[in-house]
Amino acid sequence: MSEDRVKEGWDPKIAAIVCNWCTYAGADLAGISRIQYPPNVRIIRVPCTGRINPFYIVRALQEGADGVLVSGCHPGECHYITGNLSARRKFAMLKIFLDYLGLEADRTTFTWCSASEGERFAKVVSGVTERVRQLGPAKKLVKSL
Amino acid sequence: MEAIEKKLREEAKKLLEEKKVDVIVGYEAGTLPLTAAPAFVTDPSDTTKLVWNALCVQNLAKYVHDVVSQHRNAQKRVKPENRTKKVVGVVGRGCTTRSIILHLQERQYTREEIVVLGVPCRGYVDKKKLSVLLEGQEIVHGALDGERLKVTTAAGDRIVAVADVLADNCLICRFNNPVISDLMAGEPAPAMRSDEEYDAVKAFESRPSEERWAYFEKEMAKCIRCYACRQACPSCYCPECFAEQSRPRWVGIGEDASDTQVFQIMRIFHMAGRCVDCGSCVAVCPMGVDLRTFLKKLDKDAYELFGSRVGASLDDPPVLSTYREHECEDFIYNP
Ligand code: SF4
Ligand code: SF4
Ligand code: FES
């Protein structure tokens, strides 16, 4: 199935789960400033990275996302003070765990990006899209029925 | 072992007679040969049926949680001034007490509601290992005789050393003596080979990614989603499990292999900083799914990244409920 997707001119589909207070605004800034970045991300806005259930990431992969990007406020800048600090532990363990299971490590990416970093947001998206393109279409854990 | 059992029964009897506890959660001989089952003793004269030996498998903290939460729920229908507290006495080996510590940290009940009757543990018999040794023959009769099992099958009598069939998690257990206890029955047991505790995980880590995935796929393909692992797990106590939630439906219940994989990934990941490696889930799995290779990885990471071991101490919070300001930044992507 995935070979067919490459033939059909496959382009990575990336679910970006981002925090409302920083990265979402950063994406907005990138847009207003007319900074170009690949159109492969589908942005999902959440109130804080602390709100992200690891299930969101695993489900996105199951539902056919080729990659997942999670981005929130830099440590120390979380709107809810410590949401991203708790999230960081959770994500660190999740990322290593998914890799351990044999899922490609580069399919899940975690980063920080503030509201003023439109430039950085564009760079992150380009970088992640490129990494996922290298991996090719997701085959593992993808629901087929 | 007999001396420990005797002391255990005496202490349990005293606790019930002096009304220091309402119920003792312990083990009794099971109905099948070479098994032990959880026992709930409320009558002091019934304490003679309590046993403590290498056939006691399940982590009793699960039942402590069940008893406490059932009592609490029943109390909701009682006028506030008439409400009672129930004190549960529990026969606690190392992993059981670790689960109790986790429950206390997760505020499932208070320290006053439980009395831990500590017992030293030398490991329990893995039924699946025994069955392999017996070439799958059904055990017609069996008896535990010190360090040996006397087994009768259709093929005849056999003597099996307990040491040869101990569960994998017991062989490398770091906490085979109670972490907390109010009373102790018997002297502490000798240490197990805890320096080897992560060897299996390290071996798995060193295999190529494709092989790891193939192994995970193969193991999870055996799973029939009976949820016995979850039912047996002391850390799985949510009143409603994500596996059954329908709004949203987190995980599909169809034939697709990915649904089972997602169920397992999520149940296992919920054990991050919460699994005490008691082996209860592995012991009850009817399909022999290797859950431990994956569960133990989380334990290893929690220790290596954050220096935390589940239930090692009451003052050490579960790994995902705390944080430090500066830590583990190296997985963060910086283009
Ligand atoms: S996941 Fe299994 S080994 Fe871990 S605490 Fe639960 S029952 Fe015990
Ligand atoms: S006990 Fe075994 S078969 Fe049943 S749900 Fe758990 S892993 Fe699957
Ligand atoms: S508010 Fe942005 S990560 Fe918490």
**pLDDT, block means (10 residues), chain B with 335 residues:** 91 96 97 96 96 97 97 94 95 97 97 97 96 93 93 93 97 96 94 96 97 97 96 96 92 92 97 97 97 97 96 94 92 93
Average pLDDT over residues A109-125: 96
ipTM of the complex in this document: 0.94
- Statement to judge: residues B33 and B12 lie in one domain: yes
Per the DSSP assignment, residues forming a β-bridge with B36 are B29
Domain encompassing residue B139: 127-165
Domain for residue B269, yes or no? yes
| Residue B167 token pair | 């569960």
> In Å, how far from its chain's centre is CA A79?
20
- Statement to judge: residues B85 and B144 lie in one domain: no
pLDDT of residue B254: 86
Q: Is the pLDDT reported for residue A72 higher than 90? A: yes
- Statement to judge: residues B176 and B31 lie in one domain: yes
B298 touches chain A (CB under 8 A): yes
Domain for residue A4, yes or no? no
- Statement to judge: residues B178 and B78 lie in one domain: yes
Domain for residue B319, yes or no? yes
Closest Cα partner for A12 from A66, A70, A69? A66
pLDDT of residue B2: 81
Is the distance from CB of A65 to CB of A104 less than 8 angstroms?
no
Domain count, chain B: 3
Query: Is this structure's pTM higher than 0.90?
Result: yes
Q: Which residue from B minimizes the CA distance to A104?
A: B209
Question: Cα–Cα distance between B196 and A124 in angstroms, integer?
Answer: 41
B61 ligand 1 Cβ < 6 A: no
Domain count, chain A: 1
Backbone phi, psi, residue A7, to 5°? -60, -40
Among B209, B256, B331, whose Cβ lies nearest the Cβ of A110? B331
**Percentage of chain A modeled with pLDDT above 70:** 94
B238 touches chain A (CB under 8 A): no
Domain encompassing residue A89: 14-135
DSSP A74: P
- Distances in Å between the Cα of B287 and the Cα atoms of B124, B216, B247 are 20, 14, 29
B304 touches chain A (CB under 8 A): no
Q: Is the pLDDT reported for residue A144 higher than 80? A: yes
Backbone phi, psi, residue B38, to 5°? -65, 140
- Statement to judge: residues B263 and B316 lie in one domain: yes
B90 touches chain A (CB under 8 A): no
- With 0-12 / 13-18 / 19 or more C-beta atoms within 10 angstroms meaning exposed / middle / buried, residue B23 is buried
- Statement to judge: residues B66 and B176 lie in one domain: yes
Q: How confident is the model at residue A1 (pLDDT cuts 50, 70, 90)?
A: low
Question: Cα–Cα distance between B29 and B36 in angstroms, integer?
Answer: 4
Domain for residue B300, yes or no? yes
Which of B235, B237, B293, B300 has the most ligand 1 atoms within 8 A of CB, as the residue to mutate? B235
> Residue B280: nearest ligand to its CA?
1
**What is the B268 CA–ligand 3 centroid distance (Å)?**
26
**Chain A residues close to B334, C-beta within 8 Å:** 111
- Ligand 2 closest atom vs CA B227: 5
Domain for residue A54, yes or no? yes
Q: Is the pLDDT reported for residue A6 higher than 90? A: no
DSSP B166: B
Q: What is the CATH number of the domain that holds A128?
A: 3.40.50.960
- The DSSP string of B61-108 is HHHHHHHHHHHHHHHTTS-GGG-----EEEEE-HHHHHHHHHHHHTTS
**Chain B residues close to A126, C-beta within 8 Å:** 335
- Greatest Cα pair distance in chain A: 47
Whether A109 sits inside 8 A of B298 (CB atoms) is no
> Residue B221: nearest ligand to its CA?
2
pLDDT in tens, A44-66: 999 999 999 999 999 999 999 99
Domain for residue B152, yes or no? yes
Among B209, B294, B335, whose Cβ lies nearest the Cβ of A123? B335
Domain for residue B192, yes or no? no
- Statement to judge: residues B144 and B279 lie in one domain: no
- Statement to judge: residues B257 and B291 lie in one domain: yes
Question: Cα–Cα distance between A65 and A51 in angstroms, integer?
Answer: 20
- Distances in Å between the Cα of A90 and the Cα atoms of B18, B55, B243 are 46, 36, 20
- Distances in Å between the Cα of A31 and the Cα atoms of A24, A34, A122, B131, B153 are 11, 5, 9, 64, 75
pLDDT of residue A2: 56
- Statement to judge: residues B180 and B278 lie in one domain: no
B165 touches chain A (CB under 8 A): no
- Statement to judge: residues B51 and B113 lie in one domain: yes
pLDDT of residue B260: 96
Question: Cα–Cα distance between B97 and B310 in angstroms, integer?
Answer: 11
Domain for residue A112, yes or no? yes
Last residue of a domain, one of B140, B156, B184: B184
pLDDT of residue B178: 97
- Statement to judge: residues B156 and B262 lie in one domain: no
Computed over every residue of chain A, the mean pLDDT equals 93
Q: How confident is the model at residue A4 (pLDDT cuts 50, 70, 90)?
A: low
Q: How confident is the model at residue A31 (pLDDT cuts 50, 70, 90)?
A: very high
